[in-house]
Each structure stands twice: as C-alpha cells, then as structure tokens.
Amino acid sequence: MRAMRIDGVPASPGYAEGPLFELDRPPVAYRRKASPAGEEAALKAAIGKAVRRLTSLTDAADADAAGILEFHIAMLQDDALSGPAIAAIGSGEPADAAWRQALDAEIAGYEASDQDYFRARAADLRDIRDQVLRALSEDSEDAAPPGAILYGTDIPPTRFLETDWSKGGGIALKAGSTASHVAMLARSRGVPMVVGLGDLADKPAGVALLDAEHGGIVLSPSPAEIEAFHQSSSSFAVQQGKAQTFLIQPAVTKAGTPVRVRVNIAYPSDVDGIDIATCDGVGLMRTEFLFGKALPDEETQYHAYRRVLEWAGEKPVTIRTVDAGGDKPVPGFTVEETNPFLGLRGIRLSLARRDIFRVQIRALLRAAIHGNLKVMFPMIATAEEYSQAAALFAEEQAALAARGVAHRLPPLGIMVEVPSVAIAPEAFANVAFFSIGSNDLTQYVMAAARDNGAVAPLNSVHHPAVLRLIASVAAFGREKGIPVSLCGDAGGDPAAIPALLEAGLRDLSVAPPQLATAKAAIADVSV
C-alpha cells in the first residue's frame, strides 16, 4: 500500500510512532453463557477484573485519587453489593442484566437520600456499575497496546487519564480541538496530539507516524519517510534540549523586561518532577479533576492543596475553586444542559450548590497556613458573584475560628474569561488579582466552542478583538495596582507569547513541559 500523509492541527507537540488503535470501535456485546453457574462465574470474573484494573490505577495515582479508587475497590469487594445480582442470576437473568438491575436499584436509593453525602456516592456507584459492565462485555483487544496512537472522533479525559503513556504513543483525532481540556491534559503530560484529521478512509495495519509538531499523520510509511520522521523527531528533541538551557534561568525579554512564568497543574502529583527553582510558583491549579468521578471530602481536598503549597514553599500557589460544567462534567454535581458552556458552570454552579462549595472553601482556608495561597473564582460574570463567593469565605472563616481550627484567609481573585468582566473590569476594583483565562475568553468573544474542531480557526487568541480585551484588562490592572496574569493555554504557546507581552502582560502560567520553550520564546521578544 502507498504511503499516505493526512494533515491536521497540532494540539500537543511531539512525535509518536506506533500502531493505530481505534477508539470508536463499537462496544462488544455481552455473550450469554450456557447456564446460571456460567453467568455467576462471568460476573465474579468481571468484578475481579474491575478490581485488578482499579488496583493498578491506584498504584500510579496520587494519595487523593488513590483514596477514591480504594473506596471503589472496597465497594466492589463487598458481597452485599453483588448479592442481589447473584440472586437474579439464580432466577435465570443473564449476568449483565442482573448486575445492571441490582446496581440501578442501589443507585436509585442513594439518589433519593436527603443527605448530600449519599447523593454524591450515587456517582461512585454508577462508575462501579459501568466498570463491571465493561469488563463483562469487553474482549481482550479493548486495551490499546503500549505505544499505540489512539485514533478516533474524540477522546474523553477519563480515557486519557487511564492510558499508560510511559511507553510513548500519541493521539490522532478526526475532530477534536486544540483548546479542549483533553488537549490541555496532553500538553501538560507531554503526550503528542493532532486534531482535525477527518476520517482516515484506510487504516492499514502496521506502524503509523504521528507528527504533532507540524500536525499530520503518515500511514503505511515508506523507509524514506520513516527515516525523515526519525530526523524530524530527533531535531525536535535537540530543539527541546536547547530550550532546556532557559529552564533554570528567570525569564527575561530581549529588552531585559522580567516576566514571571508559573505552572498550570490539575493534580497534586503534577508537581512531582518539577524543580520549583524553574518556575515562579503555580499560576493555576484546576481542582475540577480532583472532583473527577466522586466528590472529594474536605480532608482529601485539604491534603491535595497542602501538598502543592508545601512543594512551592514561599512561592505563590493560585488554586481555582471548582470549575465543573462546560466540557468538564462531574457526576453528582453538574447538571444536564443543552448548552453547557453557557450554563451552570464554574462559580455559578458552586453558588447554586453551596453545600459542596463550602467543603472546598474550608479545605482551602485550612490549607492556606501551609504556604503562599491565593484563591480564584472561575467564570465570574458579575461583581455580585464575586461578593457572594467572598462572603462564603468570610462565613467559613468565622466558623473555623469559632471552632479553634487553624486557618488563614487567602487573597481572593477572579478569572477574567467571561467578556462582561474584560469589557467592564471597573466593577471588580476590589478583587486581589485578575487571571485571564484566554481559553474561555476566546471562545466567548469569538462564539467558537473550544471543543469543536469545525470552528477551530475562529477560536484564535490572535484575533484583534481578543488581544484588545487582554490589553485593556492589563492596562486596568496597572492603573489600579491589581496584578494581572494569564493562565490560559496561549501563555505556553511560543507563537502567542509575543502578542501577549505586547498587550502588556508580564505574568504567564503554562503547562509544565512548556516552561523551557515559553522562557525561550520570551527571550526572543523585544518589549
């Protein structure tokens, strides 16, 4: 077969060489067994498989994620959970239907509870139900071989997170977008990713070459193409190596202007392997991924925040309160909406579910004594939202003080990612700082969804309308003495850095693998 190169858009730079693994294959249907004994054995084997899978995830997880996984394992190993399903199998039900009915009944019970804690646990049960159903029906080919290039329409964040990337591999998407959350995760873990490849008519077996530096994939490569690919990937590695010389230096432009460069993280374990001397602290810790599949309790959150604060020492750590919703659904917390990016997302959801928000606030107040914490609110559109969120901090602070619990009130700032704030920042002259979320600001200004590849060319931070808003927020901050930073993905993009510095920004936050290249790009700017 002749070699075929298909062009797409680079979403996370790098090179990968491996077999294509199709993400969009239809789920394999469960095949009924010959007898109830066979059905019971199949169910027990599937539960065992789900437990082994969770155990192996636990080994690689940080302490907080491990806590959630261990809770799932304990539930799966509890005979009380499988008992009703085994009884139904005894009355002639196949294993998959018996398990689904038993778990659905259990889930309905949790959902009907008048206590938040139990309602939140319904999400865990749904997860457990689906893991066993998946184990029941999957064939042994469901797992991608190590080093494979995952190919499909899109890839959910959970699939990304459960894939072992230590053996290489990459992501090639028919659709997708460079601004999606999974693209952000790929950049932060250094996984090569290309989006917008369209349908690959032929998907030959054998090795494919993913060029996520320029954006493309080569199928059935000739020896000459493989050779050229190896050359490009080694010169990419050399280029990255050169940028490394900037890593340990403070960032300064050609004109000698200092720029602060911080990191964006999503899990406490993301800081493992980052030398704090190479960055100016954490510009954004997204907390919604901690909320992943189950709502984390106060202790889990406290330990997660404390770990990052202790790692950073005196350097600032900006933790964002949960920004669930949009393309980041959290079972048991977010709601089904027809247009989730314009719906109950970020601070709107937190203010609507104060019981859940207060748990996070207490964890943040307690963690604040362990370092230089700042807290910011996502998706702020009005000054009232900020005041309400700040009032909840004050209330929880008073309650902790009354109980004699050690805590500190951190400076409270806001994300500037809704155009109303960028256009009229004067309503926010009382906030401690602004952090521009260029991902959302761009999608809302350009009316181009960040996760929709079909409108990706419109979703550009380079558009004068977006840059003008960024420049005006930077100018407002300078005038009022309010620090302004940027934590959207544009901050780590060498092609966007000159425009951001020209717009007046001097404080960027980037995915950890982008620290060196961002500093190298800053050194090339003449402001």
- Buried residues in 346-359 as b, exposed as e (16+ CB within 10 A): bbbbbbebeebbbb
Choice among 72, 279, 370, 487 that is catalytic: 487
Whole-number minimum distance, CB 418 to ligand PEP, in Å? 10
Q: Which two tokens stand for residue 360?
A: 């996070």
Q: Is 450 annotated in some ligand binding site? A: yes
Whole-number minimum distance, CB 488 to ligand PEP, in Å? 3
Whole-number minimum distance, CB 435 to ligand PEP, in Å? 8
216 near 8, Cβ under 8 Å? Answer: yes
279 tagged catalytic:
no
Q: Is 17 annotated in some ligand binding site? A: no
Local structure of 485: helix, strand or coil: strand
Q: With CB cut-offs between 5 and 8 Å by kind, which of Mg ion, ligand PEP, none does residue 39 bind?
A: none
Whole-number minimum distance, CB 347 to Mg ion, in Å? 11
The smaller minimum CB distance to ligand PEP, of residues 57 and 259, is found at 259
147 near 167, Cβ under 8 Å? Answer: yes
Can you give the binding site for ligand PEP, defined by CB under 6 A? 284, 286, 323, 417, 437-440, 487-488
The smaller minimum CB distance to ligand PEP, of residues 88 and 191, is found at 191
Q: Is 483 exposed, middle or buried (0-12, 13-18, 19+ CB in 10 A)?
A: middle
Q: Is 439 annotated in some ligand binding site? A: yes
The smaller minimum CB distance to Mg ion, of residues 116 and 327, is found at 327
The smaller minimum CB distance to Mg ion, of residues 292 and 378, is found at 378
Q: With CB cut-offs between 5 and 8 Å by kind, which of Mg ion, ligand PEP, none does residue 488 bind?
A: ligand PEP
Q: What's the Cα-to-Cα distance from 47 to each of 54, 104, 238, 503, rounded to whole Å?
A: 11, 16, 47, 55
Identity of the amino acid at 422: A
Whole-number minimum distance, CB 283 to ligand PEP, in Å? 9
Q: Is 452 annotated in some ligand binding site? A: no
Q: Which residues pair with 265 in a beta bridge?
A: 285
Query: How many of the other CB atoms lie within 10 Å of CB of 331?
Result: 18
Q: Is 187 annotated in some ligand binding site? A: no
Specify the DSSP class assigned to residue 120: H
Whole-number minimum distance, CB 504 to ligand PEP, in Å? 18
Taking the mean position of all CA atoms in its chain, how far away is CA 143? 22
Say how far apart CA 491 and CA 512 lie, in whole Å.
12
Q: Is 362 annotated in some ligand binding site? A: no
Closest CA to 298 of 345, 348, 356, 372: 356
Q: With CB cut-offs between 5 and 8 Å by kind, which of ligand PEP, Mg ion, none does residue 453 bind?
A: none
Say how far apart CA 352 and CA 361 lie, in whole Å.
14
Q: Which residues pair with 48 in a beta bridge?
A: none
Query: How many of the other CB atoms lie within 10 Å of CB of 62?
Result: 17
The smaller minimum CB distance to Mg ion, of residues 323 and 396, is found at 323
Say how far apart CA 263 and CA 162 lie, in whole Å.
23
Can you give the binding site for Mg ion, defined by CB under 5 A? 417, 437, 440
Choice among 181, 279, 370, 407 that is catalytic: 181
The smaller minimum CB distance to ligand PEP, of residues 301 and 321, is found at 321
Q: Detail the residues annotated as belonging to a binding site.
A: 286, 320, 417, 439-440, 450
Active site residues: 181, 487
Residues belonging to the binding site for Mg(2+) are: 417, 440
Positions at the binding site for phosphoenolpyruvate: 286, 320, 439-440, 450
